[in-house]
Amino acid sequence: MEVDYLIVGAGASGMAFLDVMFHETDATVAIVDRNDAPGGHWNDAYPFVRLHQSSGFYGVPSRMLGHDRMCADGLNRGLPEMAGKSEILHYYADLMENTYLPSGRVRYFPMSEYLGQGQIRSRVSGAVTDVKIRRKLVDAGFWGDLGRVPATHRRNFDVAPGVGCVAPNDIARHAPDHESFCVLGAGKTAMDTVIWLLGRGIEPARISWVRPNDFWIFQRENVVPHRDFFFPTIRGARAELISLSRAETVAEHCANMEKAGLWHRIDPQVWPDRHHAAVASLAEVAALRQVRDVIRKGRVTGITPERIELEQGTIATGDGRLFIDCTASAGVKLNLAEQPPVFDGDTINVVMIRPFQPLFSAALIAHMEATVDDAEMLRRCTRITNFHDTVAEFLAVQLTGMANQYQWSQVPGIKSWIESCRLNAGTHLLAGIGAEDTEKLALLGEIGPLTAQAAQNLPRILAAG
């Protein structure tokens, strides 16, 4: 078998890359994945997981996800819809089965792995398929392989026999057998799990929460890339850039972001030391604050029928509570000193080149592969925006993102593509703006100069700490 491109990984990033190559070129593509269906980590995600972001700019460029409607009820009422697991998996399956494969230009190898040297092996039958790659190998799965989802990660602590400890995937099956619950972990999965418990009528007093860290969280109401939320979102972006232009320390910037209503925290009495780009509405954070039994003694090291063992002590427990393990880390930082570039000879490494936007990044990388021949330009446009743990790391990533954004703006073809790309948040935010929208245009006119000032000041903030 011969193809122009072999994509390793049919997760969300691999599918975004495939979609651009499918619609913008006449290339033939083979795509190989270890799962039995496209969608990557969504196949193993817990059933109540939802996007952090609006459905409108998730998925692939050529097809809308969702219906451009607002949440009708719940803790995100009045905000743009955020697709859940089943909707996303159906979206990707339908694309594969009814768009890509019928063309005859795409070959799909589920339940398979790439062995290297042009060989694909079925994980079921063991059969090996030889593939001649005429153009490039596209590695769209290695970053996902570094991370873990709750259903598949290996625990870093021991659980004694007889103790109920499950992944969030299994709560619905086990919850009816327990009176109390203990959520382990401080990230978005843990937040989702607490909200699920509260939403199923579990009283806050019946929930304990092991939170070894506290996080700054984006306030959803003011970071909505949707035309109906233009003013709060652009004013929020302006407030952020003003802070980045003037703040002298990381802590000062954090305080500015909280005051502007762009970041919030679950416990107003605890200064967060982490930032993973999680997003939550005001109502969600208010719900999370109802849980008062918060255990801050470091990470769990073991659980027995009598106690929880933690890095900084133990907590007695004998009530038969259900422990819910939310300690998996989905986003793992790359060692950039060892990481090869995006365009690396006959290999394309699909990574983030815009902060928090892996699918936009994958699509843009594919567009550049299809349209840009200048190797130096490709290098300048594709600096990696890494995952991060702390606010300082986040600010460093933002600086890299600004550098990339500047380079993209210098290439007319890339600039116009971004402005029309469905995966670009700004495309939705700016939809329908005309010359008569003077107030909106005036606000937008401030963003460019403020971005330049922020890029100049960010190194000083990072140096001060």
Residues 311 and 277 placed together within one structural domain of the fold: yes
List of residues 6+ apart from 180 with CB closer than 8 A: 206, 207, 208, 319, 320, 321, 322
Residue 446: inside a domain: no
Q: Render the burial of 21-31: b for 16+ CB within 10 Å, e for the rest.
A: bbebbebbbbb
Pull the structure tokens for residue 400.
């890299």
Question: For 78-227, where are the E strands, in sequence order?
Answer: 106-109, 112-116, 119-122, 128-130, 132-139, 158-159, 165-166, 181-184, 207-210, 215-219
Instruction: Give how many domains the chain has, as a whole number.
Output: 2
Q: Please name the helix (run of DSSP H) or strand (run of DSSP E) that holds residue 267, with its range, or none.
A: none
Angle CA(284)–CA(289)–CA(294) in degrees, nearest 5? 130
Residue 406 lies in a domain: no
Residues 78 and 34 in one domain: yes
Does one domain contain both 119 and 198? no
My answer on whether 127 and 57 are in the same domain is yes
105 and 169 belong to one structural domain? no
Domain boundary, last residue among 390, 415, 436 = 390
Calpha distance 393→215 (Å, rounded): 13
Two tokens, residue 182: 């203990």
For residue 400, tell me if it sits in a domain: no
Determine, yes or no, domain membership for 428: no
Asked, for residue 461, whether it belongs to a domain, the answer is no
| Predicted model pTM | 0.96
Collect all residues with Cβ–Cβ distance below 8 Å to 104 and sequence separation of at least 6: none
Q: Where are the alpha helices (DSSP H) in 225-322?
A: 230-246, 250-259, 282-288
Query: Which residues, other chains included, contact 230 with Cβ-Cβ below 8 Å and sequence gap of 6+?
Result: 429, 430, 433, 440
Q: Do 100 and 176 share a domain, yes or no?
A: no
For 317, the domain range is 158-223+265-325
Domain check: are 298 and 381 in the same one?
no
CA distance linking residue 447 with residue 271, whole number of Å: 29
The per-residue pLDDT string of the chain (465 residues; one tens digit each, 9 = 90 and over) reads: 999 999 999 999 999 999 999 999 999 999 999 999 999 999 999 999 999 889 999 999 999 999 999 999 999 999 999 999 999 999 999 999 999 999 999 999 999 999 999 999 999 999 999 999 999 999 998 766 666 788 888 898 999 999 999 999 999 999 999 999 999 999 999 999 999 999 999 999 999 999 999 999 999 999 999 999 999 999 999 999 999 999 999 999 999 999 999 999 999 999 998 999 999 999 999 999 999 999 999 999 999 999 999 999 999 987 889 999 999 887 678 888 889 999 999 999 999 999 999 999 999 999 999 999 999 999 999 999 999 999 999 999 999 999 999 999 998 899 999 999 999 999 999 999 999 999 999 999 999 999 999 999 999 999 998
Which CATH number fits the domain that encloses residue 130?
3.50.50.60
Of 368, 390, 412, the residue that ends a domain is 390
Residue 5 amino acid letter = Y
